[in-house]
Amino acid sequence: MEQADFLELFERALAAHQVLVFFCSCEIRYSGRAEAFLPQGDRVILIKEDQTLIIHQPINGNPINYLKPGAEIRVEKHQGHLLLKAKSGKDYLDVELFKVHDLMTKKLEDGQKQFLQGNEKDMSDMIKTQPSLISDDFRPVSREEHTKFGFIDVFGHDGKGNLVVVECKRYTASLACVTQLRRYVEKMKDLKGTGKVKGVMASPSISTNALGMLQQWGFRHVVVEPPKRLERYNKDQRALDAFLR
Amino acid sequence: MEQADFLELFERALAAHQVLVFFCSCEIRYSGRAEAFLPQGDRVILIKEDQTLIIHQPINGNPINYLKPGAEIRVEKHQGHLLLKAKSGKDYLDVELFKVHDLMTKKLEDGQKQFLQGNEKDMSDMIKTQPSLISDDFRPVSREEHTKFGFIDVFGHDGKGNLVVVECKRYTASLACVTQLRRYVEKMKDLKGTGKVKGVMASPSISTNALGMLQQWGFRHVVVEPPKRLERYNKDQRALDAFLR
DNA sequence: TACTACATCTCGCAT
DNA sequence: ATGCGAGGTGTAGTA
């Protein structure tokens, strides 16, 4: 693709807040929270309407370089080829464009948000409405969602005069998760001036080391799966899919 | 763009392990580690040569949906429009394609790795070669000895018979960082059977609460910046850039 | 494989 | 702006 053609289309699309994608051979310098250099190779560059800049190599899931939304982006001629210079906050990206293979631009119309279920919040909600998931005598004191005594997921008491702090994790609980629970329990003991505070880790599973530390602190692990209400629908889809194959 | 044309180009590019990008109007269902639904809108869909699938809305830095490398991807006709079905591990993605606006495919040649400096490893290396950054009497032990103690960033001793555990963070240290350090110190006390173990948090800054907890445990904070050796080059570039503006 | 910790983490939420 | 914790976190390193 010709330099002049690219430059014109690029400027116009950028000004019109279109989305731009192009294939190119380039070399990249990054400076900001860290410093990086990526030698010449073919990449995909995506510029969104909010001036997000994302650069992908032909393999791997994550972008190799990027700038957050709101970047200042411009292209200038530099020693026979083009130089894309961009800045977002403290981060700077310089992309030497040796060759632009192909470019695609379009104004995209969206504005939808994704509905997502099965996160940690859904898990703690489930425990509040089904306290027996923790124990027969567990009584949650719903109320506090984010702050009050901290960021405790579910807080309550049992029938033996103990306060109970529940920490939910949607994945295998690790050492870090247990220290988090420990921190909350100690905060609660401090605030309430009592030693009768129990810790419960609610997660689908827990690593061996984490379980060891949990028990060392006299805490309990309870197996709880994150709720996925759309699961049946999707299961059906998968079954149908397998049938059609 | 015509369905039949898209289908043919898509299949061919996918089989040739080219990179594909297209603009489309679509509706997305995700099922796997969670469940999600995204109503109809315009998006950018990127399929890489390793069968990574990434879907972007026209704004925001992160993809709204994605599948990890190695996904099984196919497109089939479904009630007048196209249906892209993909699966990677336990994750399923169904994309109803109401209209494909434009498509770009190309075999990209890369294979370069990024050189990056200023990460936590660089920070701990710097401390090992310049122990005075921690204190005048700090003496780090050799790297070989270090490894058998686990995940400790820098380990050593001072002139007063104390073992010293250093935890590096490239950003503002938080409560979680301090509990991590605490965990390492306690592990070390246990392993060595001594109470004389000091904890040091090395980071550019530390939150007020984290500093409180740090001091409560008798640990110290030392201000250390992650090393960025290319910084001067980039600073010069920025200065030059400003001059040319 | 399981587990651990880093990441230019990003993002939202609350102070 | 800062602080704190979740994330469909992803990714690398190690046992």
| Segment B117-133, tens digit of pLDDT | 999 999 999 999 999 99
Burial class (CB in 10 A: 0-12, 13-18, 19+), A188: buried
Tokens 């992309």 belong to residue: A95
Residue B235 lies in a domain: no
**What is the CB-side half-sphere exposure of residue B176 using CA atoms within 13 A?**
10
Sequence letter at residue B76 = E
3-state secondary structure of A102: strand
Q: Please tell me the distance from the alpha carbon of residue B201 to that of residue B82, in angstroms, as a whole number.
A: 55
Residue B243 lies in a domain: no
Contacts (Cβ under 8 Å, ≥6 apart) of A200 = A134, A164, A165, A166, A167, A181, A219, A220, A221, A222
Contact (Cβ atoms closer than 8 angstroms) between residue A68 and residue B61? yes
**Most A CBs within 10 Å: which of B18, B40, B45, B57, as the mutation test of the A interface?**
B57
- CATH for B174: 3.40.1350.10
How many inter-chain contacts (A to B, CB under 8 Å) are there?
212
For residue B232, pLDDT over 50 is answered with no
Residue A81 Cα distances to A104, A144, B213, B238, angstroms: 20, 58, 54, 19
Q: Which residues in chain A have Cβ-Cβ distances shorter than 8 Å to B37? A: 114-115, 230
Name the protein residue, with chain letter, whose CA is nearest the C1' of D3: B207
**Most A CBs within 10 Å: which of B112, B180, B232, as the mutation test of the A interface?**
B112
What letter does residue B232 receive in the DSSP assignment? H
Burial class (CB in 10 A: 0-12, 13-18, 19+), A199: buried
How many whole angstroms from its chain centre is CA A232?
25
**Where residue B134 falls among pLDDT bands split at 50, 70, 90?**
very high
Whether any strand D atom is under 7 angstroms from the Cβ of B25: the reply reads no
Residue-level pLDDT at B244: 33
Pair type for strands A19-31 and B81-88: unpaired
Do residue A135 and residue A89 come from a single domain?
no
Q: Please tell me the distance from the alpha carbon of residue A102 to that of residue A42, in angstroms, as a whole number.
A: 11
Residue B233 lies in a domain: no
Residue-level pLDDT at B149: 81
Residue A228 lies in a domain: no
Tokens 């910046």 belong to residue: B225
Do residue A101 and residue A138 come from a single domain?
no
Does the beta-carbon distance from B23 to A23 stay under 8 Å?
A: no
**Where residue B78 falls among pLDDT bands split at 50, 70, 90?**
very high
**Where residue A149 falls among pLDDT bands split at 50, 70, 90?**
low
Residue-level pLDDT at B237: 53
Name the protein residue, with chain letter, whose CA is nearest the C1' of D15: B150
Residue A235 lies in a domain: no
Do residue A60 and residue A126 come from a single domain?
no
Q: What is the mean pLDDT of chain A?
A: 92
> What is the residue range of B147's domain?
120-223
Token pair in block for residue A193:
């001036």
**Where residue A144 falls among pLDDT bands split at 50, 70, 90?**
low
- Domain-ending residue, one of B73, B106, B139: B106
Do residue B164 and residue B95 come from a single domain?
no
For residue A123, pLDDT over 70 is answered with yes
Q: Which residues in chain B have Cβ-Cβ distances shorter than 8 Å to A115? A: 36-38
Beta-bridge partners for A55: A45, A65
Residue A115 lies in a domain: no
| Count, residues in chain A | 245
For residue A143, pLDDT over 80 is answered with no
**Most A CBs within 10 Å: which of B18, B22, B106, B110, as the mutation test of the A interface?**
B110
DSSP string, A173-228: B-HHHHHHHHHHHHHHHHHHT-S-EEEEEEES-B-HHHHHHHHHTT-EEEE-PPP-
Q: Which nt has its C1' nearest the CA of A153?
A: D5
Residue A24 lies in a domain: yes
Do residue A61 and residue A91 come from a single domain?
yes
Do residue B102 and residue B129 come from a single domain?
no
Name the protein residue, with chain letter, whose CA is nearest the C1' of C11: B62
Q: Please tell me the distance from the alpha carbon of residue A241 to that of residue A234, in angstroms, as a whole number.
A: 10
Token pair in block for residue A191:
């605030």
Residue-level pLDDT at B146: 78
Q: What is the mean pLDDT of residues B193-201?
A: 96
Q: What is the mean pLDDT of chain B?
A: 93
Residue A229 lies in a domain: no
Which helix (DSSP H) or strand (DSSP E) does residue A233 occupy?
helix A231-244
Q: Please tell me the distance from the alpha carbon of residue A88 to that of residue A73, in angstroms, as a whole number.
A: 9
Do residue A90 and residue A158 come from a single domain?
no
Q: Please tell me the distance from the alpha carbon of residue B41 to that of residue B57, in angstroms, as a whole number.
A: 8
Say how many domains are in chain B. Answer: 2
Residue-level pLDDT at B159: 92
Residue-level pLDDT at A127: 96
pTM (two decimals) = 0.94
Phi-psi region of B115 (alpha: psi -120 to 50; beta: other; left: phi over 0): beta
Which positions of chain C lie under 7 Å from any protein Cβ? 2-11, 13-15
Q: What is the mean pLDDT of residues A217-235?
A: 79
Sequence letter at residue A77 = K
Do residue A97 and residue A131 come from a single domain?
no
Q: Which residues in chain A have Cβ-Cβ distances shorter than 8 Å to B57? A: 108, 110, 112
Do residue A216 and residue A185 come from a single domain?
yes
Do residue B86 and residue B9 come from a single domain?
yes
For residue B91, pLDDT over 80 is answered with yes
Q: Please tell me the distance from the alpha carbon of residue A191 to that of residue A152, in angstroms, as a whole number.
A: 13
Residue-level pLDDT at B204: 98
Do residue A95 and residue A126 come from a single domain?
no
Beta-bridge partners for B76: B83
- CATH for A19: 2.70.180.20
Residue-level pLDDT at A240: 41
| Interatomic distance A58 CA / C10 C1' (Å) | 22
**Where residue A228 falls among pLDDT bands split at 50, 70, 90?**
confident
Residue-level pLDDT at B16: 97
Do residue B90 and residue B143 come from a single domain?
no
Task: Of B149, B62, B55, give the one whose Cα is nearest residue B93.
Answer: B55
Residue-level pLDDT at A18: 98
